């Protein structure tokens, strides 16, 4: 049976990788990407020539279509703190408004997939964080627009499942990095790589002891692909997807610095409410997606990411 799929935010970092996976499907009849190019870029999908693919430049919260879709994957939202803290109202609209609008474009019995985030756990009091952990979030803090709009969208979808039987898939994605990240993205690994390749000064906020679970994009997208459409599973989420090997920000900076002789690390004051730790409990993921794991170590993943950014910078200078 042929399927029509809509992806919001498909020109973004994660979205563009997911587009590549979707286009491998033999049952895919039509793939529509809705993206306002706020944080996504046309360059991320410039390689796509498949006739089933089309891009609609529009906001997820206002996009309209006479067509209804078998599957909708809602990714539209900035994921970097500097982007969502700069435009909080727009961030809330993208997540909640986007979900409310896109639900009207879903065929009866269709599947709605949502990319939630590990940020819904806030600055966690427990580690690792399991899906049952309710989090420690400041609903009026500087990250609230992103954290709370993701939490609210989860609530919206699971309530729709409860009252109308909506087929949902909700995944909580932990820190992800890799090729096709914006140069001005602002998150740690891309920041360090860009700084090492340009100024030679890597900025670490605070003492760098804050830890993250760094998931290489290929591993994360493999988990999303299996959960959203490839595996026949009944579980609807929320499901943690990430790397459960915690590494400090300082160690990441030191490794990136080692790739560029002469570069150095400079410490700046800590960022307000920067979570001290972030690590997924993957017990449920192992049950739902047997055999899946984030297998790429941070050194290998960073070396691949470093080479991609090096090529991008070289091309921009030509």
Are the C-beta atoms of residues 41 and 9 closer than 8 Å to each other?
Answer: no
Which entry of 84, 121, 133, 146 is annotated as an active-site residue?
146
Distance CA 220, CA 241 (A): 7
**Residue 146 annotated in active site:** yes
Phi-psi region of 34 (alpha: psi -120 to 50; beta: other; left: phi over 0): beta
Between strands 201-205 and 264-268, the pairing is parallel
Are the C-beta atoms of residues 175 and 242 closer than 8 Å to each other?
Answer: yes
Distance CA 9, CA 76 (A): 4
Residue 213, CA atoms < 13 Å, CB-side half-sphere? 26
Residue 318, burial from CB neighbour count under 10 angstroms (0-12, 13-18, 19+) = exposed
Residue 55, CA atoms < 13 Å, CB-side half-sphere? 22
Which tokens hold the place of 305? 């990411």
Phi-psi region of 202 (alpha: psi -120 to 50; beta: other; left: phi over 0): beta
Are the C-beta atoms of residues 244 and 177 closer than 8 Å to each other?
Answer: no
Dihedral sign of CA atoms 183, 185, 186, 187 in order: negative
Query: What are the Cα distances from residue 317, in Å, to 178, 185, 298?
Result: 21, 19, 28
Helix, strand, coil proportions of the chain in percent (round to 5)?
40, 20, 40
310 C-beta neighbours (distance < 10 Å), count: 15
Q: Which residues are catalytic?
A: 146
């Amino acid at each position: 049976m042929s399927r029509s799929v809509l992806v919001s935010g498909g020109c973004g970092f994660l979205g563009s990788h997911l587009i590549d996976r979707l286009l491998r499907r033999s049952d895919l009849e039509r793939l529509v990407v809705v993206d306002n190019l706020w944080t996504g870029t046309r360059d991320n999908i410039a390689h796509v020539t498949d006739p089933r693919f089309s891009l609609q430049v529009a906001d997820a919260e206002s996009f309209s279509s006479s067509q209804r879709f078998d599957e909708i994957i809602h990714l539209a939202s900035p994921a970097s703190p500097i982007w969502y803290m700069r435009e909080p109202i727009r961030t809330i609209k993208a997540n909640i408004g986007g979900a409310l609008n896109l639900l009207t474009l879903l065929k009866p019995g269709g599947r709605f997939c949502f990319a939630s985030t590990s940020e819904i756990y806030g600055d966690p009091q427990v580690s690792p964080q399991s899906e049952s952990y309710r989090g420690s979030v400041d609903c009026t803090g500087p990250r609230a627009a992103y954290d709370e709009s993701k939490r609210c969208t989860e609530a919206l979808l699971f309530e729709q499942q409860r009252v109308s039987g909506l087929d949902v898939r909700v995944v909580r994605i932990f820190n992800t990095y890799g090729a096709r990240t914006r140069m001005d993205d602002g998150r740690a690994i891309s920041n360090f790589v860009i700084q090492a390749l340009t100024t030679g000064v890597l900025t670490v906020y605070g003492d760098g002891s804050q830890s993250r679970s760094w998931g290489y994009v290929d591993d994360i997208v493999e988990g999303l692909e299996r959960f959203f459409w490839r595996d026949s599973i009944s579980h609807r989420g929320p499901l943690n997807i990430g790397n459960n090997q915690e590494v400090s920000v300082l160690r990441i900076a030191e490794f990136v610095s080692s790739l560029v002789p002469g570069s150095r690390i400079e410490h700046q004051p800590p960022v307000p409410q920067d979570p001290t730790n972030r690590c997924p409990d993957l017990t449920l993921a192992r049950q739902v997606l047997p055999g899946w794991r984030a297998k790429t170590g941070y050194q290998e993943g960073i070396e691949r990411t470093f080479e991609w950014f090096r090529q991008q910078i070289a091309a921009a200078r030509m």
